[in-house]
Structure 1
Amino acid sequence: MQPSRHVVRQALRSDVGTVARVLAEAFDGDPVMRFIVPENRHRHRLTSLFAFETLLSPHGSWVDVVDGEIAGAALWGLPGAGQPGFWTTLRYSRYLLRTFGTGLPKAMRAFRTIEDAHPSSPPHWYLQTLGAARPGRGVGGALLRDGLARADAQGLPAYLESSAPGNIRIYERFGFRPTGEIMLAGGPTLTAMWRDPVGGGQ
């Protein structure tokens, strides 16, 4: 049996629906998603949320295509990109309403807590979301290696928040180190992690 072939490439606009479904499958049991996304039609709501996030990161979205199918995705906040503008966010706000409904204020409070803990400097690559529909195929590793190689080529660090305690050791193997905890009021705790660039750089 031939080993699976991984091809990491930037996501296309036509990939948004598939990326959203793959990430929704990957994050179905995530403690933060379970805390902020209502239980009713949970998977459907998650799909709307990840469609929103992918549409807001058109230049920072990468997919791992395994044997011709998108098996996972990574959404990166690129250095210098800044926050999406008001009109862009408004354009896709229907996805947020589909996701949270009347629970939107609770979700926004959680997002604000996470954002407040985000380091403002130095410039860095921000791994906002990384997920594979079916773990154990090397998809997450392929996406991480690709993104971190881009960050290293620019001589820039990387930052993420791990919402699953079991993933901390995995990220440590890629050079990340825990820098603190982010506690959501009445909810789970995330681990902030930072990685300095390796070799190369500008």
Structure 2
Amino acid sequence: MQPSTPVVRQALRSDVDTVARVLAQAFDADPVMRFIVPEPGYRKRLTALFAFETLLSLRGSWVAVVDGEIAGAALWGLPGAGPPGFWSTLRYSRYLLRAFGRGLPKAMRAFRVIEDAHPTSPPHWYLQTLGAAVPGRGVGGALLRDGLARADAQRLPAYLESSAPGNVAIYQHFGFRPAGEIVLPGGPTLTAMWREPVGGGQ
């Protein structure tokens, strides 16, 4: 029996734990996550990291529901939002400590490199994280189309960093174009990608 078509809705506060588990499953083999998240207890640490990220970006988080279960999530940085503030980060810092422990300085250096490469203008939708628990069910595509439709409705571009080389072609199919490489010192390389809104920019 084929699974139902994914239904996309905005994430709720009560979804955070499920979203974190789903994204941890999706990113289990991701090169950047494997580089910055320590062993042992990798999956639990990764789940804590995605709980932190979801809590900080709840207004920009959407989930795809298949047969009544959350099967994937997209976390977007909304136009003009900027990075999370000090107090918001401090409020959920226990999740960061759970995720990285003594590896936190290494992770923060990597995040700083990624953040420094992030374009500051024009205003845009920033796809921080997109993942599906089980690939091949149309979940990622449904989430991406939903978010890009919102960006297009506002006539705004979109930006992302692809941490998996195999995903670059997928994002190109949705209109993104490579915009440079981000090299983490001693670690993997990400591909920065930019997409102009369908119908032209502002």
TM-score (structure 2 length as normaliser): 0.97
Q: Give a deviation string over 1:80-105, Cα, whole Å, max 9, x none.
A: 11222211110100000000000000
Gap runs ≥5 in structure 2: none
SS at match of 1:104: helix
Gap runs ≥5 in structure 1: none
Asked if the contact 1:153/1:201 (under 8 Å) is kept, the reply is: no
Matches within 5 A, 1:1-202: 1=1, 4-199=4-199
Q: Distance in 1 between matches of 2:135 and 2:141?
A: 10
- Once superposed, which parts of structure 1, at least 4 consecutive aligned residues long, lie more than 3 Å away? none
Q: Distance in 1 between matches of 2:75 and 2:33?
A: 16
Q: Give a deviation string over 1:12-42, Cα, whole Å, max 9, x none.
A: 0000000000000000100000000002100
Q: Distance in 2 between matches of 1:197 and 1:25?
A: 31
Q: Distance in 2 between matches of 1:157 and 1:15?
A: 28
Q: Distance in 1 between matches of 2:135 and 2:193?
A: 21
SS at match of 1:65: strand
Over the matched positions of the two proteins, sequence identity in percent amounts to 86
Q: Distance in 2 between matches of 1:6 and 1:140?
A: 9
Q: How much does 1:201 deviate?
A: 7.6
Asked if the contact 1:61/1:73 (under 8 Å) is kept, the reply is: yes
Q: Distance in 2 between matches of 1:58 and 1:94?
A: 17
Query: What is the RMSD of the two structures over their aligned residues, measured on CA atoms?
Result: 1.2
SS at match of 1:194: strand
Asked if the contact 2:3/2:66 (under 8 Å) is kept, the reply is: no
Which amino acid in structure 2 is aligned with residue 117 of structure 1?
A
Structure 1 187/60 Cα, relative in aligned 2: closer, same or farther at 3 Å? same
Once the two structures are overlaid, the 10-residue window that deviates more, 85-94 or 47-56, is 85-94
Which amino acid in structure 2 is aligned with residue 51 of structure 1?
A
SS at match of 1:159: strand
SS at match of 1:97: helix
